[in-house]
Amino acid sequence: MEGVSGIFHNQILVVALLACFTAQGLKVIIELIKDRSLNFRYLVSTGGMPSAHSALVGALATGIGQTIGWSSPEFAIACLFAVIVMYDAAGVRQAAGKQAKILNQITDELFQNEHNLNEEKLKELLGHTPFQVVVGLALGITIAMLSSRII
């Protein structure tokens, strides 16, 4: 039995995680350029540019296609999994973020009238725009393609 150390020898897993962490790191850099402030919370946050979820599943599917074969059932499963994750990121979670923003605005208006409610804000940046999802996907595919030439 390989044990836990075998996980680090799984090239597909390592490349997919590399794509995810790269996307999260890029969020910090993009926000630094945009807002001119260094905010390390973007390393662990959801939402934003580029989509780390899309980068992860894009690299995963690409790695499986490269390793096992583009016509394999595993590649088909990975592609369908990727579509579901990206649809959720740009659809359901994006809508939930918009709802959170509206609820926060309603709560702010109620607090201005001095009602006693819990002041905790809902997280608004949950999902991604379709562009952020596509950029994350392209990043994941690119990292997987480049890593196959290096490794």
Tokens standing for residue 10: 């799984």
Q: How far is CA 67 from CA 93, 112, 145, in A?
A: 32, 59, 11
Predicted local confidence at residue 55, as pLDDT: 97
pLDDT in tens, the chain (151 residues): 567 878 888 999 999 999 999 999 999 999 888 888 887 777 777 778 899 999 999 999 999 999 999 999 999 999 999 999 998 888 776 666 677 777 767 777 766 665 555 666 655 556 678 899 999 999 999 999 999 877 6
pLDDT at 140: 98
Predicted pLDDT of residue 126: 60
Q: For residue 117, what pLDDT is reported? A: 58
Domain boundaries along the sequence of the chain: 4-91+127-150
The pTM (predicted TM-score) of the whole model is: 0.77
pLDDT of residue 116: 58
Does residue 50 have a cis bond before it (omega within 30 degrees)?
Answer: yes
Three-state SS for 81?
helix
